Amino acid sequence: MIPVSQGQMKRLTTVHGWSGVVLGLLLFTVVITGTVAVFAHEIARWSAGSSSNRALDRPIDGIVRGLAETMPRFYLEDTNIWRTDAGDLMVFFHAHATNPETGEPDEYGTMFRVDPDSGAVLARDEGFMWHEQQAWEPSALRKFLVDLHVQLYMPDPWGLIVTGLLGLLMMAAAISGFLMHRHLIRDLFVAERPGARLVSARDRHVLASSWSLPFAIILAFTGSFFSFAFSVSFPIVAQVAFGGDQEAMAKTLFEAPVAEDARPVRAADLDAIRAAAIDEAGGPLTFIGIHNYGRADARVHVWHAAADGRLGFTQTVFDGADGRFLGIKPQVGNVPSIGNDLNALMWPLHVGDFAGLFSKAIWGALGATTCFVILSGLRMWVRRREAERLWRGFGRAVTVTAYGLPIGMVGSAHAFFLSLPAGDPIFWTPLGFVGGALASIALGLRAGDDGRLAQLLWRILSFGFLLLPLLRLAVGGTSWADAIAGGHGEVVSIDLLLLLAGGVMWWARNSSGSYRTAAAEPAE
């Protein structure tokens, strides 16, 4: 494609190979958890059990107004309203204060969990609520999987920095691979050649990476963008332009300017605003934010999921005092801009959340393809060097990681369901992952042969898949009949997918034993 000299090719090969070897397994961790995290909402509804899909489609004005009347004025600075994946209505009245534990500005207030049908308050908590996950997160499993993807379960901001660097690494590998491959178009249809030769391993890697190249770059770039935005970019912008005041920066970038008017007025009807918002934006409501509820300068921001044919979410703004529609607000700034348009593209391009399950399934498949590219590349590297003991050990690490991570994730799901009756899944879910991963590592250390190890881990994984739906039902999860009656297709779908995956893997278990340990061949 692009002519490169022999020396350049050598350097590109070095960059491509060593970057993959040094951080490839960590990158695989981020990508495979991201592939699962694409279906975060579906996993949450499947694991937590959903009672209703329509918490924000029902009248909420009476509920919010009644709760607001019990709140001190201080807590009405900001009000967040959303629906959990379990179907409950959440209302969080809060103000901003410095969190003594972190020393950072934080949101302090009262959070209500409400039954959207009856309006009954199911729970009331007070404090710096974003640190109290059990109050608002119905699925510890979803939370764990997303956290693992976003920051590898590392402390802030190091996790974000590491995942951001891994995104850059993935881009470097994709671009260097593109430059190295001189016959990209000519090899676009060459399937893995038979014979389990080195060239077969190369075919496998090159074919998958050639087809997934555009989205590998897109996913890597958008992932890095999100990681560095919160850990590096915003703090730098706040430091440079706002003297370190991140709250002032957030107001400037994300809130519409409004002249202060603290006169108390009757708040606008939220149900009328909901209806008008849907008319204006088209997409379903996902979140409502009210600034200065019950004051003359109140503003209501309504977030909508992507409407039919659109990529990004939309934000409509209303006057909180008289309910007037004020306009559709750009995500960044207050006037349309190229920067805002590019920023709006980042989220849908990263998670594929713009056409429901259709686009999510495509993004999940893209993630799986990227996993295949990483593993096939690592295996090819090992294959070329398996005469050396060190690289055979690395090959064992690749096998353990390739199977151990999915086993760990399945283990976390098992731990989540097993700990549900005890009521502490937030503690046990990560431990389930650690247990599954450690068991895989232990088997990897004990096994004498890579082929047998792969077969054993394969069977454990398939058994784990098969057992999950049964365990979910055994601990009182939503039954299929209730799920179908309530319109929660994800419950039945995920159960069936797990049974199918486990069954097919169990049936095809011998295929994993075809791991090749032939002698190294010269590069072709």
Q: In this chain, which stretch among 132-140, 156-164, 211-219, 225-233 interacts with another protein, using CB under 8 A?
A: 211-219
Residue pair 328/280 in contact by the 8 Å Cβ criterion: yes
Residue pair 137/110 in contact by the 8 Å Cβ criterion: no
Nearer to another protein, 310 or 509 (CB): 310
Q: In this chain, which stretch among 19-27, 142-150, 354-362, 494-502 interacts with another protein, using CB under 8 A?
A: 354-362
Chain-centroid distance of CA 485 in Å reads: 29
Choose which of 191, 262, 338, 519 interacts with another protein (CB under 8 A).
191
- DSSP H/E element including 450: helix 450-474
**Complete DSSP assignment for 51-116:** S-S-TTTS--HHHHHHHHTTS-GGGGGEEEEEE-TTS-EEEEEEEEEE-TTT-SEEEEEEEEEE-T
Number of other residues whose CB lies within 10 A of the CB of residue 102: 11
522 binds another protein per the rule CB under 8 A: no
342 binds another protein per the rule CB under 8 A: no
Nearer to another protein, 65 or 310 (CB): 310
Nearer to another protein, 300 or 373 (CB): 373
Residue 233 DSSP one-character state: I
212 binds another protein per the rule CB under 8 A: yes
Residue pair 84/136 in contact by the 8 Å Cβ criterion: yes
Binding mask 57-96 for another protein (x = CB under 8 A): ----------------------------------------
User: Among positive and negative, which fits the CA dihedral 512, 514, 520, 524?
Assistant: negative
Q: In this chain, which stretch among 150-158, 270-278, 305-313, 330-338 interacts with another protein, using CB under 8 A?
A: 305-313
Q: In this chain, which stretch among 187-195, 280-288, 380-388, 412-420 interacts with another protein, using CB under 8 A?
A: 187-195
Choose which of 165, 217, 355, 492 interacts with another protein (CB under 8 A).
355
Choose which of 194, 257, 423, 522 interacts with another protein (CB under 8 A).
194
Beta carbons within 8 Å of 519's beta carbon, 6+ residues apart: 386, 387
- DSSP H/E element including 315: strand 314-319
Choose which of 146, 162, 208, 410 interacts with another protein (CB under 8 A).
208
Q: In this chain, which stretch among 86-94, 306-314, 473-481, 496-504 interacts with another protein, using CB under 8 A?
A: 306-314
Rounded alpha-carbon distances, angstroms, from residue 253 to 82, 113, 149, 234, 422: 22, 30, 27, 11, 44
Nearer to another protein, 294 or 364 (CB): 364
Half-sphere exposure of 213 (CA within 13 A, CB side): 19
450 binds another protein per the rule CB under 8 A: no
| 227/158 Cα distance (integer angstroms) | 10
338 binds another protein per the rule CB under 8 A: no
175 binds another protein per the rule CB under 8 A: no
Q: Which of residues 455-514 bind another protein (CB under 8 A)?
A: none
Q: In this chain, which stretch among 173-181, 207-215, 246-254, 431-439 interacts with another protein, using CB under 8 A?
A: 207-215
Least distance from another protein to the Cβ atom of residue 207, Å: 6
Nearer to another protein, 214 or 487 (CB): 214
Choose which of 101, 266, 308, 522 interacts with another protein (CB under 8 A).
308
Q: Which two tokens stand for residue 368?
A: 């799986």
Nearer to another protein, 201 or 207 (CB): 207
Phi, psi (rounded to 5 degrees) for 369: -60, -40
Choose which of 132, 186, 275, 470 interacts with another protein (CB under 8 A).
186
251 binds another protein per the rule CB under 8 A: no
516 binds another protein per the rule CB under 8 A: no
| 166/324 Cα distance (integer angstroms) | 46
Choose which of 358, 422, 446, 510 interacts with another protein (CB under 8 A).
358
User: Among positive and negative, which fits the CA dihedral 510, 511, 512, 517?
Assistant: positive
Q: In this chain, which stretch among 112-120, 301-309, 397-405, 485-493 interacts with another protein, using CB under 8 A?
A: 301-309
Least distance from another protein to the Cβ atom of residue 511, Å: 13
| 128/32 Cα distance (integer angstroms) | 32
Residue count, binding to another protein (CB under 8 A): 34
306 binds another protein per the rule CB under 8 A: yes
**Ramachandran class of 18: left when φ > 0, alpha when ψ lies in -120 to 50, beta otherwise:** alpha
121 bridge partner residues: 114
442 binds another protein per the rule CB under 8 A: no
319 bridge partner residues: 299
Q: Closest Cα to residue 355, out of 286, 304, 308?
A: 308
Edge-to-edge strand list for the sheet holding 78-83: 121-127, 105-114, 89-98, 78-83, 285-291, 299-304, 314-319, 325-328
Nearer to another protein, 358 or 423 (CB): 358
Q: In this chain, which stretch among 51-59, 189-197, 244-252, 397-405 interacts with another protein, using CB under 8 A?
A: 189-197
Q: In this chain, which stretch among 46-54, 83-91, 182-190, 479-487 interacts with another protein, using CB under 8 A?
A: 182-190
Q: Which two tokens stand for residue 188?
A: 């676009």
Residues that bind another protein (CB under 8 A): 186-194, 204, 207-208, 211-212, 214-215, 306, 308-311, 348-349, 352, 354-356, 358-359, 362-363, 365-366, 369
